[in-house]
Structure 1
Amino acid sequence: MSEGVKEENQLYDEINITPMLDLAYVLLVIFIIMTTASVQGVKVDMPHTANTTALAKPQMRAITVTSDGSVYLDAFPVDMAQLEQRLAAYKSSQPELPVVLKGDAAAHYEKVSEVLEICKRLDITEVGLVTKKVVE
């Protein structure tokens, strides 16, 4: 009878870590989803307009001008020379290249004007300006 008591009070040699690993995998998946969902481009505060229409075309390029005057092409920082060079390369492979310009409401008008001038020099005629619709 004392042998039965000995087996009952015997210490475990192993710890079951399966539930802990399940929790770690779930946390890892949540972390991956949250970090990839938050990286969508450059965040700017767009100006408001009364009428907006959605422009969605394949192979569209997005140019962003931030409030401090930085310029991004498809979420990658560029200067004006690089912007013109890359847009010219895209234009050569796709003659009807659509471009969307997202300018921060506090952006320097001169930078936005320079971007539009580059588009004009490269004969990019499909240029859309992104704005927010005013909610009344």
Structure 2
Amino acid sequence: MKINFDSPDEEVRIELIPLIDVIFCILTFFLLAALQLTRQQAINVDLPQAETGSAQMREMLIVSVDRFGQTYIDDQPRDRQELSQWLRAYKKARPDGLLVLYASKMASYNDVVQVLDLLREVGGDRVALATIPSSGEIPENPNPDSLNPLGLPPSPENLQLPDPPAESEGGGDATTPEADLLPNN
């Protein structure tokens, strides 16, 4: 058997296109993995719409009531006794913190009022109800340094919250019936 040593040398090349394909596959994997690791701050509830309101930009604790009356702190289910303990610990640690109630529009009125009463008992006047603006537009992020390139839902700091009722001459505001129904202890 004769071996031909006179064959021309083939130049070895690194193909870039398959290498770029592999790099993009790895990048896609890491992007999808990062999205799965994002912490959800509250359960998904169907919030009611409001005509007026302004975003509250301060540290807050999110309390949610779903359509079945189950209460949550952030995204962890809590019974009413646990809720009271958590709220007291939060107010002790952060006296200026805001308590935000995310109540599904399908939740029973009784459940919402009970949780709201508990929030007002612990938080006083630092309680807000989360709503969605009736225009359907999500407010702009006041902090342009935070990036949200994927168009993810806004953080709770960017949700519209109702303004506190204005003081009227009669001592109460006719647009807030809960002022007469719920005692502010």
Distance 2:6 2:110 in 1: 88
The answer to whether structure 1 residue 54 and structure 2 residue 32 are counterparts is no
Deviations 1:104-132 (A, max 9, x none): 11111121111112123325321111111
Distance 1:95 1:126 in 2: 9
How many residues are paired up? 126
Distance 2:112 2:6 in 1: 84
Q: Say which of 3, 15, 22 aligns to 2:5.
A: 3
1:5 CA displacement: 4.5
CA 62–123 in structure 1, closer or farther in 2 if over 3 Å, else same: closer
In the TM superposition, 1:1-136 aligns within 5 A as 2-5=4-7, 19=19, 22-37=23-38, 39-58=40-59, 60-135=60-135
1:33 CA displacement: 2.9
Deviations 1:41-72 (A, max 9, x none): 311111111112111212x1111111122211
Preserved contact between residue 119 and residue 125 of structure 1 (Cα < 8 Å):
no
Identity %: 24
What letter corresponds to residue 84 of structure 2 in structure 1? Answer: E
Of Structure 1 and Structure 2, which has the larger fraction of its residues in helix?
Answer: 1
CA RMSD, 1 decimal: 2.7
Preserved contact between residue 52 and residue 132 of structure 1 (Cα < 8 Å):
no
What letter corresponds to residue 32 of structure 2 in structure 1? Answer: F
TM-score, length-normalised on structure 2? 0.58
1:135 CA displacement: 2.1
Deviations 1:87-110 (A, max 9, x none): 111112222331111111111112
What letter corresponds to residue 52 of structure 1 in structure 2? Answer: G
Preserved contact between residue 97 and residue 124 of structure 1 (Cα < 8 Å):
no
Name stretches of at least 5 consecutive residues in structure 1 with no aligned partner: 9-17
CA 4–118 in structure 1, closer or farther in 2 if over 3 Å, else same: farther
Name stretches of at least 5 consecutive residues in structure 2 with no aligned partner: 11-17, 137-185
TM-score, length-normalised on structure 1? 0.76
Q: SS at 1:34's partner residue?
A: helix
Distance 1:57 1:119 in 2: 17
Work out which structure has the larger RCO, using CA pairs closer than 8 Å and 6 or more positions apart in sequence: 1
1:37 CA displacement: 4.7
